């Protein structure tokens, strides 16, 4: 520092390099590493970050934010180009450029497609809405696969004019699933990425990023459209290239997400590893092993928070299933492991019940055991009494978020009669 300069204060923006305020000849100067002002290049980078990245980046978002957004940008760009090809095919199918086509026929086709899409959106949200939080990564990838299938159907539709309406309506149903699943899982991922209760800011900046990508896709599409018009072979070739890039980028995007909350898949991975060698995996290790599409491991399905009659059918069965002061009970009916939860159960109890259900499902699936379920159930309680406390401490030490879970519980809760015990 120059001898006639006096340091007044130091400031920084987020994790950026510090700026110093210096006093010189009665004036105050602002410097950074000996420079009095930022270069134009640095200024442009700063403006770009402020426009497209959440305030306080990178401290205000999860550690996987940048990698996820990179692959999400790649998939959005390729999807934009594929969508252009599909839109051109749809317009051609409804009669654009065909003198014999009528406005009424095109309008009816469009209305039927929109109507089936609306119904599909309602039905899918009813059937699978509760799964979109607990299995956000899986449904994010499924949504993008269905989106590609829908666009492929739209490209093929003009070649089958007699079935055109049916094809575009089916495509509309697929796209309605994409709309619900894509939007809902995007919201779930935003909750994960937000580190300063800044969900709105992250969502807004994500919208800005998507708009910029779509604008770039629009400019490229202006070059593509003259090339693919009246050239079905080139249209299909480009579509498959863009689709391959789209699916690859989506797979990399969901694989880059590191969730710290426990869903059934991640908890099962942790428990099996712990029972195998006593080690509790970190969130990064477990997320790398989490299946994001299909799981080929065949186990009995588990249903959580079910009604009592779905677990036991008689007072004697209830006595066998209950344990003193246990906040849950388990049973098996119709090839499913059912778990009933007490009204006073907390998050720790939910995790313990799920661990026991996972172990039961694995054991019964491996042995094909139907008779002797009571002995296996008793063994599962003994295992939890011996191992769960150590397992839970290991999960805490591995810095998993145990304040909440994504275990997809239904809402039934029990209050047992103390005299019955």
pLDDT one-digit tens code per residue, 363-373: 888 776 555 67
60 belongs to a structural domain = no
Q: Which of 354, 332, 360 is nearest to 341 (CA)?
A: 354
153 belongs to a structural domain = yes
* Predicted local distance difference test score (pLDDT) of residue 372: 65
- Give the alpha-carbon dihedral of 404, 409, 411, 415, to 10 degrees: -90
Does the structure show a pLDDT above 80 at 189? Answer: yes
341 and 290 both lie in a single domain:
yes
* Predicted local distance difference test score (pLDDT) of residue 248: 96
The answer to whether 139 and 265 are in contact (CB under 8 A) is no
274 and 374 both lie in a single domain:
yes
Of 16-20, 207-211, 286-290, give the lowest mean pLDDT range: 16-20
Of 1-15, 55-69, 201-215, 274-288, give the lowest mean pLDDT range: 1-15
Q: Which of 77, 133, 81, 132 is nearest to 249 (CA)?
A: 77
Does the structure show a pLDDT above 90 at 50? Answer: no
pLDDT tens per residue across span 222-248: 888 888 887 888 888 999 999 999 999
How many whole angstroms from its chain centre is CA 215? Answer: 25
358 and 294 both lie in a single domain:
yes
Percent of the chain with pLDDT over 90: 40
413 belongs to a structural domain = no
DSSP annotation of 28 reads E
Segment 345-355 shows an average pLDDT of: 94
225 belongs to a structural domain = yes
Looking at per-residue pLDDT, the higher value among 161 and 184 belongs to: 184
Q: Which residues pair with 336 in a beta bridge?
A: 333
Segment 56-84 shows an average pLDDT of: 92
Host domain of residue 383:
264-397
Say if strands 19-24 and 6-11 run parallel, antiparallel, or are unpaired.
antiparallel
Does the structure show a pLDDT above 90 at 395? Answer: yes
278 and 246 both lie in a single domain:
no
252 and 143 both lie in a single domain:
yes
* Predicted local distance difference test score (pLDDT) of residue 364: 86
What's the rounded Cα separation, in Å, for the pair 159 and 313?
A: 57
* Predicted local distance difference test score (pLDDT) of residue 321: 67
420 belongs to a structural domain = no
CATH at residue 230: 1.20.1250
204 and 333 both lie in a single domain:
no
Helices (H), ranges, 59-102 = 65-93
354 belongs to a structural domain = yes
97 and 231 both lie in a single domain:
yes
107 and 218 both lie in a single domain:
yes
154 belongs to a structural domain = yes
Neighbours of 46 (CB within 10 A): 13
Of 238, 256, 274, the position where a domain reaches its end is: 256
223 belongs to a structural domain = yes
244 and 365 both lie in a single domain:
no
Residue 303, φ and ψ in degrees, nearest 5: -120, 130
Does the structure show a pLDDT above 90 at 132? Answer: no
Say whether 186 sits in a helix, a strand or coil.
helix
Of 210, 230, 256, the position where a domain reaches its end is: 256
The answer to whether 134 and 263 are in contact (CB under 8 A) is yes
383 and 291 both lie in a single domain:
yes
Q: Which of 297, 301, 360 is nearest to 328 (CA)?
A: 360
Of 236, 256, 276, the position where a domain reaches its end is: 256
Question: What is the CA angle 143-153-168, rounded to 5?
Answer: 95
202 and 94 both lie in a single domain:
yes
Please, what is the angle between helix 65-93 and helix 199-228, to 10°?
Answer: 40
Does the structure show a pLDDT above 50 at 97? Answer: no
What's the rounded Cα separation, in Å, for the pair 10 and 36?
A: 14
How many domains in the chain?
3
273 and 249 both lie in a single domain:
no
């Amino acid at each position: 520092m120059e001898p006639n300069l006096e340091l007044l204060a130091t400031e920084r923006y987020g994790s950026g390099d510090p700026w110093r305020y210096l006093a010189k000849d009665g004036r105050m100067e602002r410097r950074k590493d000996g420079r009095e002002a930022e270069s134009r290049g640095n200024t442009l980078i700063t403006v770009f970050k402020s426009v497209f990245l959440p305030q306080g980046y990178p401290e205000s978002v999860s550690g996987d934010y940048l990698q996820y957004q990179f692959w999400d940008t790649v998939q959005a760009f390729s999807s934009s180009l594929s969508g252009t090809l599909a839109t051109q095919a749809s317009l051609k199918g409804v009669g654009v450029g065909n003198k014999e086509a009528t406005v009424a026929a095109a309008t009816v086709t469009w209305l039927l497609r929109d109507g089936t899409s609306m119904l599909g959106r309602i039905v899918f949200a009813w059937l699978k809405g509760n799964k979109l939080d607990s299995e956000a990564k899986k449904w994010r990838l499924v949504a993008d696969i269905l989106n590609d299938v829908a666009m492929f159907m739209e490209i093929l539709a003009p070649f089958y004019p007699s079935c055109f309406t049916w094809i575009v309506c089916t495509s509309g149903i697929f796209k309605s699933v994409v709309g619900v699943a894509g939007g809902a899982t995007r919201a779930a991922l935003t909750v994960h990425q937000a580190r300063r209760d800044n969900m709105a800011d992250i969502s807004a900046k994500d919208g800005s990023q998507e708009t910029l990508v779509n604008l770039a896709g629009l400019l490229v599409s202006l070059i593509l459209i003259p090339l693919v018009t009246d050239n079905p072979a080139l249209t299909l070739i480009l579509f498959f290239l863009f689709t391959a890039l789209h699916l690859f980028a989506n797979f990399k995007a969901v694989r880059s997400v590191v969730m710290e909350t426990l869903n059934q898949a991640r908890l099962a991975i942790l428990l099996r590893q712990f029972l195998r060698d006593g080690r509790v995996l970190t969130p990064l290790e477990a997320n790398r092993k989490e299946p994001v599409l299909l799981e080929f491991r065949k186990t009995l399905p588990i249903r959580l928070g079910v009604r009592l009659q779905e677990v036991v059918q008689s007072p004697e069965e209830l006595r066998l299933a209950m344990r003193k002061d246990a906040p849950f009970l388990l049973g098996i009916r119709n090839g499913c492991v059912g778990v009933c939860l007490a009204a006073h159960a907390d998050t720790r109890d939910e995790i313990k019940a799920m661990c026991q259900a996972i172990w039961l499902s694995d054991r019964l699936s491996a042995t094909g055991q139907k008779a002797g379920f009571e002995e296996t159930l008793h063994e599962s309680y003994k295992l939890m009494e011996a191992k769960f406390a150590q397992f839970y401490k290991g999960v805490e030490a591995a810095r998993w978020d145990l304040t909440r879970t994504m275990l997809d519980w239904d809402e039934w809760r029990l209050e047992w009669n103390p005299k019955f015990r």
